[in-house]
Structure formats: C-alpha cells, structure tokens
Chain A
Amino acid sequence: MRFKGVAIGSLLMAAVPVAASNALAQNVTVAVGAAVGSIDPHYYTLTPNTSLDANVFERLVETDAQARPMPGLATSWKLVDDRTWELKLRDASFHDGTPFTAEDVAYTIARVPTVVNSPGSFAIYTRPITGVEIVDAHTIRLSTANVYPLLPTDLAQLFIIPHKLGANPTTEDFNSGKNAIGTGPYRFVSYKPGDRIELERNDGYWGTKPAWQHITYRMITNDAARTAAMLSGDVAMIDQVPTADIARLRADKGVSLWETVSLRIIYLALDQGRDGPTPFVTGPNGEILAKNPLKDLRVRQALSIAINRPAIVQRVMEGAAIPSAQFLPPGSFSYVPGLVPPPTDIAKAKALLAAAGFPNGLKITLHGSNDRYLNDAKIVQAIGQMWTRIGVQTAVETQPWSSYAGHATKLEYSVFLQGWSISSGEASNPLRALVATFDAAKGRGTVNRGRYSNPALDSLIDKAVSTADDGAREALLIQATRMAMDDVAIIPLHNQKNTWATRAGFTYVPRADEETRAYDLRPAN
C-alpha cells in the first residue's frame, strides 16, 4: 500500500548468513499441523495449501513477515492511469530452466478461473482484472473496471505457473509433480498424501540461496504428537505450537520459540438481524422476550465490558494472543491508534443491563466450535463464567466445526464465537466481510452472521475502497473501524499469535499470515 515499488524485498532474508556446509544439516524435517490437500496452487484458497505452495511457487507481489506487500516476481508496480497497473517483472527462471516472462503471468491469470470443482477458488482475486496487456517480456499491464487500489494485495495471493503447462493442467499432474514447476526456492520432489512432501533446493533461485539441500515437509495434525516430535528431536521445526506446550518448550534449552501476532481476530458475533425474539437469549427465568435485547447498544456494551480479555489471553491462551478491541493488531495498515479493550467493569456492566431494562440479567446460550480456532471451546466457557458474574446466566454449547458452521451460516445462533483471518492485512477486508450490511448483489457482509446493519458505515466503507490514495484511504478505514467498534457491531476478543518451535541452532522468521516456509528457516550463527 504505502510501498512505492522499490526493490528492498529480500532484505529480511539477506540479513541471515548463508547455510553452514555441514552435510548432515543439509536435510531438514519440518512438521506442519494442517494437512496439505493439493499441490495445485490454484485449487483451494486454504492456508495449509498456500503455505506449502509458497516454498515452490512465487507470487508477483510477496508479503513480508508482517503481511506488508513487497516485491516478488514483480520488482515494481505503479498506476499508469486510474484503472491500469503496470508491473515490471523480475529476471527469474522456473525449476525446469525456462525463463519467467509476462506470458506466464497472463497464462496464470487466465488459468485461475478455469480450475474446476474448486470449493475455494482463487478467481476472487483475478475477477477485478478486466484486461491483460503484455508490453514486453518483462512488463505487463493489468486493467480493472473500477478504481481498485487493492490489486497488489490480490496479486499477493496468486502463485505464478509456467505457460508451457498448456491448456487445462490437471490437479493430479500437480500432485504427481509433473506440473509442480515454480520459480520458488525449493523444487517439488514428491507428495505422499496425509504424510509428507519432499522438496529439493532450487540452486538457480534468484534470491538468497536456500539454506537446505533437502526438506521433508511432514504433516502431523495431532497437537500432542507434533510437540512430541519436537521434543524427541524427530523434526527440526514445528508450526502451530499448542498453547498448552508453549511454557514447557520455552523452558527447554534445546528448543527455540518464534512467535508473531497474527492477522486472525477472534470475536463474538451477536444476532442483530432479528427484531423480535432471538432464539438463545431469554429473560432471567427463561421467558421469551418480545424484542431482541441484542439490538440494544447498552446490552452489547455490557456483554463486551464484562469480558476480562487479559484473563482469557493469559489463562486460556497462555499468552499466545493479544487482547483486542478492533480487527487488526498494532502496526498494521489502518490499525486504529488508541482503540484498546475497555477495562473489565462488572458494576458498570450490571448498570448498563439495568438501564436497558434487564435489572435481573438475562439468560444466554453461547455457542462455539471446538476444533476450529485455538482453544475455542475453552474461550466460550471462560466467557460463560464472566457473564454469569454480571447476572447473565450463560449456558455454553460447543460443536465440531462440521456441524457448527452450518448452524452459524443459517443464522440459528444468537451469540457465537467466530474467527477471521485478514488475508489482506488491512481493515477494508474485515469491514466488508464482517460488519457491512449483508448484500449479495454487492458482495458485502459475506460472513456478517449477526446481520449487523448500519447504512452510515456501509457508505463509509464504499468510499474507502474506491479511494486510491493510501493516506486518505487509511484515514477512512480508521474512521469506519471506530464507528463499527463504538457501536459494538461485534465483540472482538483477541488477535491470536502464531508460534513456531525449532531445535536450538536454527533461526526462523515467524509470519503473521500463518505460512510455514522452509526458506525462512536458517542455521543460527
């Protein structure tokens, strides 16, 4: 966004010295906690997939560890007019030796929407692109229908594949390795579904030389088994360190921990779509209420200030989160300065409830998943405790995501736990998805499952996303975020931290976007 296209990209990596020549250390095993489902980089927009893909393929625009855009296969980009971006491409070559050119970019953009059966298509990132013009081998112009300042952010999701793969390359051919040809630091060798992926160093990589000759990328989805693999020395690095094991691993001299605040916000959604009774909120004796109490700002405020966020972070998350009162963590583009969680105030919460006409409190069933977000089932139980203390008798019900997601999408819950990963790293994405009025035609409010609606907020968001100037846009996004949070459209709880553990003697660059990249794992000197 603020980035003007200067090639400082590999600064982060360049700071780390080249690998030691120890032959044994040339083979490294990395264990990830989420199973990779496909090697095809355009099949499914799922972090475990993109995380692996990021070792093999590269994007035009990359993001640094804090999710800020930086040059990838494009060395620079600029607006040539309101609706046309021009990108300068890097001198790089694919693993099979063919040089990377503008033709590959055009091919990739054309291929993405043609992938069939995709349950999470990357087409949402190519759709804004209405025209592709190859200027020369290393220059390409992309045009959009409207003013679209987020194009570089969208391009930061698209992995480039070589055009020589031809028409309709199949997912099977990616999985077998035939099509798995990228420009990235590691070459794909083999894929054993549910078990491991083998990678080899790409010696022709344009950037700093990758540290390891051979990477085994293992999938260990069971948390305890992953920690055990770390403790027993079977693997050099694990991602998604379980919060329960952080303290033990931190105390272990043979292990180093690497953590960063992630772009994932955990929050409570509140049913504000129903004017009449909402199914899981009743009066203190179970009596059905004629009006939905969650439509009353005072009730929402009371529920929010009753929650002791630092206690949740400290006791439930064991420090692997930061308390939050907005979407993004500090330091992000469009973070609202000074908007911090309200202090927990039981007396004030009770007073607010009484003012709203509920001096004897309420009865709420709080719903949550139990296998989706870090400690989700524990978080809702802890909130249940806290609400009980302000006179809101809280029952807690948790379900596996497979059953929970359907109920939540069908708007069957009243108060429920949700999480959202802000892939763009700025506030327009959560504003549009979580709190903008649900509107299928405009593609707004897609996961606004509380059906919060505020026309003033909507127009502010619309204005922000069509503002090309970064400074002006950020100001608008900050204003919109503040408006949504003052109105308690949702109750933000915390931003999760992403934690990796390595054996001692390694360094790692923890990423806010949850991707686990072997390239960022280096020997410590």
Chain B
Amino acid sequence: MAVLEKPVAAPRARPREQSPFARIAGDFAQSPVAIAGLVVIVVIILLAVTASLIAPQNPYDLAQLDIMDGRLPPGSSSADGLTFWLGTDDQGRDMLSGILYGLRISLIVGAGSALVAGLVGTSLGLTAAYAGGRVEAAIMRLVDLQLSFPAILVALMILAALGKGVVNVMLALVIVEWASYARTARGAALAERAREYIEAAECLALPKWRVVFRHLLPNCLPPLIVIGTIQVARAIALEATLSFLGLGVPITEPSLGLLIANGYQYMLSGKYWISFYPGIALLVTIMAINLVGDQLRDVLNPRLQR
C-alpha cells in the first residue's frame, strides 16, 4: 500500500513504452466496477471534508442537541423545525449530520492507522525475511508479543497514559495492526527470497535496500494489498468495537463505529435507524475501498496476466 507509486522492476513486467503511472491508470480503468468504486470513494471523501458545510446540524456541539428530541424516527421534526431525515440518536443528535461527521473520523482513523501500520509492518516483515538471523528472531518475537496482546488492553493502556482522543485511538490501532502486516510480508518474502531473480539481483551486488524494496517488495505486494484493503475495513470495525467497549473516540464526537455501537442497544427495541444508517454508510465506504483495492491489486501484480 505504501508503495503504490513504484510498482516497477518485476522480472516479467511488460515492456515499458509508457510511464508506469499511466499504465496503472490505464489498466485500472478497464474495470467499470472499480471506476464506480473510485467515484464512490471520491464522493464519500468530499462529503466527509465538507461535512461542516452540508450537515444540517453540528452533532458535536452539545448546545445544538436536545435530549427531548432523542430517538425520533426518520422524517420527524424537532421543536424548532429541523427535520431529521434519518432520525435521531438517544441524545437528540441528527443521524444524517452524525453520519457525515462520523465518516470523517472513521476515514481518518481507518485509513490513517492502516497506512501507518502497513508501512511499519511491511518494512519490518521484509527486513526480517531478508536479513534473517538475530534481526529476524527479534522482529518475529516482537510480532508474537504484539499478536498476543488484546486490542482492548492496548487501548486501555493508551487511554490511561494519554487520555481520550482520535489520535490516541489511531495509535492503539496501529499498535494492534502492524504485526499482521509484518507476519504476512515475511511469509511472502520468505518464499520470494529463494527465487532466481533475487539471487540474480544479489549477484549484481545491488545494495541491500534496493533488493528489498525494488525487487522483493513488488513481488510480495499482492497478499499485502489483500491484507491492506481488509485492514482499513478492519480498523474501522475495530474502532467500532473499541467504542462498543467504551474505549473508542470521545462520545461527544462520534465516529460511524461509535454511532453503530450506540445504536446497538436499541436494535431489539425496534429503533433500527440508530445503528442501521451508520451501518449502511460504513458498508458502502468499505465496499468502495475494497473494489478499488481489488482492482489495484490485480493491476499491480507483476505476475498476473491480463
């Protein structure tokens, strides 16, 4: 994920008449579904960025909320004439506004933590596989250590040490997630390391970093991108789970996940809208990210014939 811009130098890559970027764009555009996904992502990002302009209410401002408007079904109106198209949550927060603002937080948290975790994890995983020996042992045991650590405990420790906040939640997610990338990157790299082209590159006495990042990495990318696109989704869902456990973002600044977690307790009582609409928003976002991710993975895969 981190290296989307340089997917070059694989042995069986086709002749380079065009710039790699143009090639990728061209290949990407072959799938209408992926284009649709991309459009949806752009729209979602636009909505998230302009949330404060288009949302009927600022859902983070307690002064604009009134519990007397709480749990109203979609289409109801408040005392001062505001229509809640998607209903309200228990605090009288307009769900539509909450979703628009929540999208922003969820995207930042999900994509941000997955990106950082991906960078850190992949680098460490590749290093482990390529360097071997003590370095590998140290890194992989660190992975074991991290994988054994429950997300909730990590989040609780960070909460205790640094307090509540969106950045702290991201930090917790990065700490929880980097290990899966490292494990996968190492697994893929171990298989690749033994291949002829790596040996060839080594015979040419190329610098080590060059072998790792220009030769090893591109060939390890497909499983990493699978993990990566899934991890964005997983990060958002994990943030929701942390919110469910009371460890997520601040309650007065709900993310999509927190909105869903809040609505959870109303599911059995028929007030579906409190968790249903944020759920739909989350689903659409993640669907779009994955459609784009799937196509990118195919496009970037040096061994895949199209």
Residues of A whose CB lies within 8 Å of any CB of B are 223-224, 227-228, 231, 242, 244-245, 247-248, 311-312, 315-316, 370-371, 377-378, 381-382, 384-385, 388-389, 394-400, 402-403
Q: Is the interface of B mostly helix, strand, loop or mixed?
A: loop
Are A385 and B67 within 8 A (Cβ)? yes
Report which of A231, A381, A388, A400 forms a contact with B251, defined as CB distance below 8 A.
A381
CB distance from A330 to the nearest CB of B (A): 25
Chain B contacts for A316, CB-based, 8 A? 67, 70, 90
Are A396 and B156 within 8 A (Cβ)? no
Report which of A247, A315, A398, A402 forms a contact with B70, defined as CB distance below 8 A.
A315
Most buried by A among B91, B246, B250: B246
B32 is an interface residue with CB less than 8 A from chain A: no
Query: What are 28 sample pairs from A and B whose C-beta atoms fall under 8 A apart?
Result: A227-B268, A231-B268, A242-B265, A244-B268, A245-B268, A247-B269, A312-B67, A315-B68, A315-B70, A316-B70, A370-B251, A371-B245, A377-B251, A378-B91, A381-B252, A385-B62, A385-B67, A385-B92, A388-B62, A388-B63, A394-B62, A396-B62, A398-B246, A398-B250, A399-B159, A399-B164, A400-B159, A403-B159
Report which of B246, B268, B271 forms a contact with A400, defined as CB distance below 8 A.
B246
Most buried by B among A245, A371, A394: A245
CB distance from B56 to the nearest CB of A (A): 18
B66 is an interface residue with CB less than 8 A from chain A: yes
Are B62 and A224 within 8 A (Cβ)? no
Q: Considering only CB atoms, which chain A residue lies closest to B155 in the complex?
A: A400
Q: Considering only CB atoms, which chain B residue lies closest to A248 in the complex?
A: B269
Interface size class on chain B is 20 to 34
* Bound form: Cα–Cα A309–B152 in Å: 34
Q: Considering only CB atoms, which chain B residue lies closest to A370 in the complex?
A: B246
CB distance from A165 to the nearest CB of B (A): 39
Q: Which 6 A-B pairs have the closest CB atoms?
A: A370-B246, A248-B269, A388-B63, A315-B67, A400-B246, A384-B62
Chain B contacts for A395, CB-based, 8 A? 252
B 154-169 to A, binary, CB cutoff 8 A, 1 in contact else 0: 0010011000100000
* Bound form: Cα–Cα A384–B66 in Å: 10
CB distance from A321 to the nearest CB of B (A): 14
Report which of A223, A247, A371, A394 forms a contact with B265, defined as CB distance below 8 A.
A223
CB distance from A143 to the nearest CB of B (A): 47
B270 is an interface residue with CB less than 8 A from chain A: yes
Chain B contacts for A312, CB-based, 8 A? 67
CB distance from B61 to the nearest CB of A (A): 8
Are B65 and A385 within 8 A (Cβ)? yes
Are B265 and A224 within 8 A (Cβ)? yes
Are B250 and A385 within 8 A (Cβ)? no
Chain A contacts for B66, CB-based, 8 A? 385
Are B67 and A311 within 8 A (Cβ)? yes
Most buried by A among B68, B90, B269: B269
Are B251 and A396 within 8 A (Cβ)? yes
Are A224 and B267 within 8 A (Cβ)? yes
Interface residues of B in 134-175 (CB under 8 A from A): 156, 159-160, 164
Are B266 and A400 within 8 A (Cβ)? no
CB distance from A303 to the nearest CB of B (A): 15
B264 is an interface residue with CB less than 8 A from chain A: yes
B 61-90 to A, binary, CB cutoff 8 A, 1 in contact else 0: 011011110110000000000000000001
Are A403 and B160 within 8 A (Cβ)? yes
B 36-64 to A, binary, CB cutoff 8 A, 1 in contact else 0: 00000000000000000000000000110
Q: Considering only CB atoms, which chain A residue lies closest to B165 in the complex?
A: A397
Interface residues of B in 175-215 (CB under 8 A from A): none
Q: Considering only CB atoms, which chain A residue lies closest to B270 in the complex?
A: A248
Q: A311-B68, A385-B62, A385-B63 are in contact. Are A396 and B252 (CB under 8 A)?
A: yes
B247 is an interface residue with CB less than 8 A from chain A: yes
Are B68 and A224 within 8 A (Cβ)? no
B 256-283 to A, binary, CB cutoff 8 A, 1 in contact else 0: 0000000011111111000000000000
